Amino acid sequence: MIKNSSQNNDYLEGIEISNEAIFLDPEKQFSIRELIIESLKKIIKEKKLKLSLGPELDLLNIKRPIILNKFDIQLVSSGMLADEVEIDIENCKEKGKGPQLFLAAQVEEDLNIVFFKGLLTSQEFIKIIKKRDIKSNKISIPISNFNGGIDKLLRYIRLLDTKSIPRVELDINPKVVNWDLITRKIKLSVTAALGTAGLIIFGPNILQPKLVANLSSLTPKDYEVKSFTRSSTKNSVCLLTPIAYKNDNNELVAKINIDKPIIYLLKPLNELSISIDKNIVWKKIASSTEKINGPIYWPIKPIKTKDKYKLLLRPQGSPFGSNLVINLETDQNIPLTNIDNFIDTLGDNKRKWIKAINKKIKSNRNLGISLLFSKKAPDTKELEKAKLQLDKLNACESI
């Protein structure tokens, strides 16, 4: 972008604006994020491209990446004269949240000019920062690392397969980042907790160590909920079930294969609601006397195939609007289990119950947990103690 224009003078007075820069109406007031988004929209419109740009309702949220033609792209910006650009790496530290691409925009705020300097793929980014000692959530890299301009962005998002570029995943802060380590830690802590208690809970039966081992493999997931008010701190939702993953549109989706799934919380919520087709069909707000925590039984009519429910979870301490949204979708690959019918097949046989829980914990977590917490489960000390043990487990905090 910077090309000397002071040929016969000692000092640089101005720079030439690239022909590829985008000029927006100088009379309008835009934030930097708006300038970049509007410029992208302008390019897409001028080139008559059919590209989806999202998240539609949250495009101006500076903390969120944009989703352009299913690619997760983090926008980074600097002034027109900058030699370095600052990148927020908070998302990169969380599994499944890091972007695939970084798009650098050089912005002139007064005159509403945006020049897309270029791209960095996740691999290129990792290569640049791999030797650095990263202590904060921001990192500065030379802007010259970004190249190719807007053309390169369009090349990649139009011509490459979405999966050809992995997400950035930084392994720099074990407390937040190292998912493998987290998993190992939880396994160890659960095993340790249940291992010593195992003999007491389940007796010498050969099934018990197996159940302990299977329970120990239950890894809860911690989902950060961002708050955009200045005063509030970061909160998270810790779920044992359902477990959700991000889809191509950066939305959390949990695949469900039982008709009355349990929502098992390991951290208290302020609010939990269930909606379908944008209508809230059930809602619970925590009070001073009633917390929302632990296992929540499915409170409404059983789920049918193709139903698409949304869970809205607001953690304790989060203001209104700071929610986690999980889309519940029935798993097309596995038939939907009617939990009541399944339970009927178990009858009162304690051995059958423990065996079924053991088996399902492994293959179908939600069903396994639902059986363990089923109101029709046989009244045995062993299962009660197991439930209590699991309930006490505060795996997300212990990380």
Partner 1 sequence: MDKVYTEIYFLDSFSSKVSKKRVDFNKEFLNEYNLDKDNFTNSFDKKLFTISKEKPEKVDSLLALRCRVSSPILEKIKHIYNIFSENYDIELQEMLILTLNDGGERFLRIRNEKNKRFVKMLFCWETINTMHQKGVIQPFGAEIIFEFNPDLSNLSTWAKNKVQGNYELKSYLRNFGILLFSHWSLIADSSRKRIISSWERCGEGKFNSKYIIKLYESYIFNYKKAKKDFKRKYGKISGWEPDRNFLISLDPPQKNIDTLVLMSKAIRQYISSTYTARQLSQEEESQIKSQEIHEIENSDSEISNKVITLLKNNGLGIVHKFINEDKNKWVKDSSRKLAWELYSKGLSQREIASKCNHKQAWVSKLLPEKRISEEIAQETALEILKFKEFTNFKEAPEKLDNLVDGLQNFLLIEQTDEKISLLRQFVRQEIEK
Task: Give the residues lining the site for partner 1 (CB under 8 A).
Answer: 2-21, 23, 26, 29, 47, 78-84, 108-111, 113, 121, 140, 142, 151-152, 154-156, 158-161, 164-165
* Closest separation in Å from C-beta 160 to partner 1: 6
Which is closer to partner 1, CB of 154 or CB of 326? 154
Bridge partners of 118, per DSSP, are 104, 148
Rounded CA separation 92/100 (Å): 10
* Residue closer to partner 1, measured from CB, 38 or 109: 109
Nearer to partner 1, 123 or 229 (CB): 123
Nearest Cα to 140, choosing from 87, 77, 83?
A: 87
Instruction: Please state, in angstroms and as integers, the Cα–Cα distance from residue 308 to each residue in 93, 256, 279, following that order.
Output: 30, 10, 12
Closest Cα partner for 20 from 108, 109, 111, 150? 150
* Cα 325 to Cα 317: distance, rounded to the nearest angstrom: 17
CB of 25 to partner 1, least distance (A): 12
Closest approach of partner 1 to the CB of residue 118, in Å: 12
CB of 79 to partner 1, least distance (A): 4
To the nearest whole angstrom, how small is the minimum distance from the Cβ of residue 45 to partner 1?
14
From residue 53, alpha-carbon distances to 30, 81, 92, 217, 279 in Å are 19, 28, 21, 38, 25
At 122, phi and psi to the nearest 5?
-60, -40
Closer Cβ to partner 1, 47 or 291, answer by number = 47
* Identity of the residue, 86 or 340, whose beta carbon is nearer to partner 1 in the bound complex: 86
Minimum distance of partner 1 from residue 82's CB (angstroms) = 4
Nearer to partner 1, 16 or 58 (CB): 16
Which C-beta is closer to partner 1: that of 20 or that of 348? 20
How far is the CA of 42 from the CAs of 45, 54, 339, 382, in angstroms?
Answer: 5, 15, 52, 64
Cis status of the peptide bond prior to 242, with omega within 30 of 0: yes
Q: Which residue has the tokens 């018990």?
A: 208
- Burial class from Cβ neighbours inside 10 Å (0-12, 13-18, 19+) for residue 237 reads buried
Q: Which is nearer to partner 1, 11 or 320 (CB)?
A: 11
Least distance in angstroms from the C-beta of 133 to partner 1: 16
Shortest distance, position 33 Cβ to partner 1, whole Å: 15
CA angle 92, 189, 256 (to 5 degrees): 60
Identify the helix (H) or strand (E) that includes residue 199.
helix 179-202
